[in-house]
Structure 1
Amino acid sequence: QVLFALNQTLLQHESLRAGSLQAPYTTEDLIKHYNCGDLNAVIFNHDTSQVPNFINTTLPPHEQVTAQEIDSYFRQELIYKRNERMGKRVMALLRENADKSFFFAFGAGN
């Protein structure tokens, strides 16, 4: 699975560099939507999570299963568990320092 993930990531980056694959958004798109206050699920979804998307309809069925398993694993480990850890740290800071003010800034999937 590790080799599969590395190969798929490399193929994705090579395709982007060669121009045969385009990112579904540009940095300018993200800035525009941020400035307009339009932080909706259409823009800030899986595509901006920095987790490579291994699911590809051109893969053979057995590789699609592997891709789905890896995608689910990364999403769980790199997004959901990270968010849970950050939330616990924020709550602990607030509880331990009830007399202080805090400013927290959270990114969208970074």
Structure 2
Amino acid sequence: NKTECEMAIGLTDPDKIADKFLADGVALAIVKLGAEGVMLATAEERIRIAPLKIKLVCGLGSGDAFGGALSHGLIHNWSIREIGEFANAAGAYVATKLTCADAMPTEAILRSFISEQAKIKS
């Protein structure tokens, strides 16, 4: 996340953070921005995914869910937009639950959650 990047490499601007990681040979730079969502960048593209509007219950496990969903998308060779949206939704979904271990979502649960969130936006 942005705060950890500042501690590790001394940068706070998400674009500069991504540029640094990409210049160092990382294929996909991901900067979680908290309430501002998440940014994903490759040498060819850079996107920002807006945060989902949720009722926060407990943030524990949200990062784990994000990482798991990110890995799932990478394994399935999804676009970086789909990976970002899916991982962002996974973190948000778990944050709406009290216990993180029981809240880790399946792909089907996340697809339903993403669909519900889209209805809320409209």
Q: TM-score, normalised by structure 1?
A: 0.27
Whichever of the two has the greater Rg, that structure is 1
Q: TM-score, normalised by structure 2?
A: 0.25
Considering Cα pairs closer than 8 Å and 6+ residues apart, tell me whether 1 or 2 has the greater RCO.
1
